[in-house]
Chains A and B, each alone.
Chain A
Amino acid sequence: MAAPAPDRRIADLAAAFVELRTALGRVLVGQDEAATGLTLAVLAEQHAYLEGPPGCGKSELAAALAALSGARTHTLVFHRDIRETDLLGDVLLSRHRHRGHERLRRELIPGPLLHAEIALLEDLPRSPGEALGPLLRILAERHALGQPLPLESAVATGPLEQVEAPIDPLEPGQLDRFAIQLRLSGLLTGGLFDEAAVLLEREAARAPSRAAAPRSAVMSTATRHAAQRAAAALQVESRTIDAYHRLLDRLRRRSADESASGDRLMSDRSFSSAALRLVRAHAFLRGAPAAAPRDLGAIRYMVAHRLPEDVQEDFDHILEELLGDPPNVTMTETGAQMPGAQSQGDDSDGAAASSTASDSWIDDQADVPAPPTLFGKPPPPAQVDPLLRALVGRIERGRIDPDTDPGGQPRGYRPLRDLDELIDADLIEALLFAEGRLPGAPRTFERKRKSAGGAVAVLRDISASMAGRLTVWSSQVVLGILRVAARRRMRVGYVEFHHRALPHQVGGRLLHRSYSRLAEQAGQAKAVGQTNYEAPLRTALEGLRGGSGRNRHVVLLTDGLPIIGDTTVRRERQLARRLGVALHTVFLGNGDCPPVLDDISLETGGLRFYGRPLAGGGLRLEER
């Protein structure tokens, strides 16, 4: 290009960040992408969220970033009992005597977090909403207690969403505060055995009791700041902006097509200013004089929670295709027509029009172009979100308000009732109380925890007609329900059925909390036999009969008419009504839904869902 060569100083600044990237890459074996993402975070002054399974090195990487970049750092470990003062700083209580009466005023003195240039927020999702709200606002505004903060980047870590993790994950809207979103995988569970061998060799050579060697900074604060300023001021070539528009367009359309949550996570906040800062930083790191279209690769570090997983995996491919296939005309900003540029994207254009069900969508795979993968051709995933959301709604409705529990999360305040509770009391009020100067008792946390009651039994049709992709989709539905139940610590039961009911008991019980064992089981179902509704419903209701409480659900997953047993399941419907169990039905089959499913759902206050085939071979669960 005609751009001037970067001057020497700029090159030095870029070199400092390249060194940071290199040093960071050495911290962990095989996590280069995260090292690059975090380097970009500092350079572009963006917040980053790092998630991964336990023990994959998230914390070590974040700590190394802080040390190597030479920034003033504060680490905050989030936990259930984290308080406002941990976030903001000490309390200052001032007393003013004025004409015989005393006036008390409380203020906050900015604490170490507010002085940090890089803030490390460990285990962020473990924090209750009370502390999280103010924190996220601080991160967004970079302003607290009436003064601007020196904060450049906050790096938060969190666990992977796991079936048995007892914490609620952050909401996508909360995660959106973190422009950079990185997902680490373990070397072992990710199958990276060569890298694992390198790590083993490194550990075998290293003294086990090594004192955690302090890492020294690779750059000064002045260098860091100068580089940040220079990167932010970098020009973005017009063809880059053009390509970015087209990239966003493709991502948006692919996302809307792939997932129920669609493109709603592509917020303006992230995809305008933050994204362009990252693109500039990417170019700066390359030593380029201006951001070229290839620097759009930086967007890859933003997508972990913003795009459906399929689109994420395809991201490099989508970008490559777009860059390798540039439009002929780049001058016209409003020129909507870009001949030949979107041959691959065309089929998503008519998503609405082409969603008519083909009669042969179950058996005939040849018609459906499956996405190429390394492991054969699995069918496109079923979109189970709508069912899960509706089910969550029913479950939440069935749960009573959270119970007061001393081990629960702080949710609001109440007056102190017992001196033991002083530890949970408001600091200042406890102090004044001790001095005998507080009229009444100090406020203390009211701790509550959601009742972990309730049960869900999943009845899954495994009759012969459920073969092929229906088996895969059913498994996805079952896993989704298990995840919903696990997060609420509800008991689960799992019954596969054909002409007979095959309950999967654990410890002799239908209902239990061994979620991962069931999850494994659900992945191994094989389709045989004919359909019988009576036997599985009977089994599930017998299992639920013993328990108490209102929050009891059965989800019946089937693709066909019952042939064996009482096909009207009259007695089971009656029993469910008497027990107050909601029977939800999900029909995955081809053709009309058996009317008996309507009766089952309507009579017991259950949901009625069916699987709508999608263009491209997918399936979306929708309410009937």
Chain B
Amino acid sequence: MSDIAVRTSELGKRYRDGWALRDCTLEIPAGSVTALVGPNGAGKTTLLHLVIGLSRQTSGTVEVLGLSPRSDAKAVLPRLGFVAQDHPLYRALTIAETFTLGRRLNAQWDEGFARERAGRLGLDLDKKVGKLSGGQQAQVALTMALAKRPDVLVLDEPVASLDPLARREFLNGVLEAVVETGMTVILSSHIVSELERVCDHLITLADSRTQLAGSIREIVAGHRLLTGPRSDAASVARIHDVIRETHTERQTTLLVRANGHVYDSCWEQHEVDLEEIVLAYLGYRPGMRDTSPAREAVPS
């Protein structure tokens, strides 16, 4: 068993109206809680659907636990837990009936866990799912995925439709399960806040390309915000990777990926938080920096 839970290589998916995901290569370490962050339309849902075998790729490969989620579905499905966007459930079923559905459709099913978790969340098992609040439905959907006792849990925008309190409760549920089982979690989101509390790895996806992939601790440690008198960033860019540059009349601010080199003393160094790094990367295109508007603002 490799220590990589999910591996994709040049993975692509084309729909009738064009490519939804293209040349996506990434690795998700086993046991990690990985956030997949990107703007709407970046291909996050497409990528996750390919990972769980809901759809089939047009090009490239995807491996989950060393197997193909589509052609080895019989072996992969029992080891995967999935909560789709908007957490679909059969609204006419009660919670208890929903669990029965889970029990009948899964060889491995922890009914005791499901009922205990529902009880802990104050959910009435005889209540129809359609009558629950959005947050409660999300919790039922998460319970369904967790009761499979999966090795890999995939959550597609699980908290996007929830209010802040429900969002916190949902993520706490994920955290508890991770602590308890040590499973791998992949969680997509276009919201960066809150993720740092739950996730230890992060992958950014924009235009179906990954810009940043790695442990959050290393990502945060590896980036610096430099401020200094207004100047050309070219001298810094020769040795450092400049992710974003902004200029005011007197000052230039650079977000750089540190690579061990020391900085010129004219730059003041600051720590930078994850959200700012992610936002900078989502606007960052390698090789495009020279034509960016910020660059043009610099007088020559």
- The answer to whether A and B come from one shared complex is no
Q: Which residues of A contact B (CB under 8 A)?
A: none
Q: Which residues of B contact A (CB under 8 A)?
A: none
